[in-house]
Amino acid sequence: MTMDVIYVASDIDHHLDLTRAWGRVQRKAGVAAMSETKTGGEARRMLTMDQVLELVPVGKSTLKRMIKSKDFPSAHYITPNKPIWYEDEIVDWQETLPARSPRKRAKTAQGSSGEAR
């Protein structure tokens, strides 16, 4: 005995919409975006949160706060629950950091003015 499965058209359309949301349409957009920023025809190295934390000497909550405040590159999602960062974006961010800390200069200025008294 065989059972026939009947799908209602609206169910199929809804499923296709969900597939498009996280499936082919979004992946194609991601591939286009990645290929625009890819350099030299080489694949870009993807880093997990733990690998980023090895490069950037802050804690996980501080890194999340920096991402939220746009002080650090945001993650790209390769699946709905898998954030990754591109190594070249992290390197670019590191190169934009000042050579000397403004806090250290302010502390040094206070220390020298305090000693002059």
Considering the entire predicted model, what is its pTM? 0.54
58 and 32 in one domain?
Answer: no
> How is the chain split among helix, strand and coil, in percent rounded to 5?
60, 10, 30
Domain count, the chain: 2
50 and 83 in one domain?
Answer: yes
77 and 60 in one domain?
Answer: yes
Which tokens sit at 90? 């992290």
Which tokens sit at 3? 């059972």
Burial class (CB within 10 angstroms; exposed 0-12, middle 13-18, buried 19+) of 59: exposed
Q: Determine the straight-line distance between the first and last CA of the chain, rounded to whole angstroms.
A: 99
Residue 35 or 103, more confident: 103
For 12-23, what is each residue's pLDDT tens digit?
A: 454 444 444 444
**Structural domain containing residue 17:** 11-39
Report pLDDT for 22. Answer: 45
16 and 48 in one domain?
Answer: no
Residue 110 is assigned to a structural domain of this protein: no
Residue 82 is assigned to a structural domain of this protein: yes
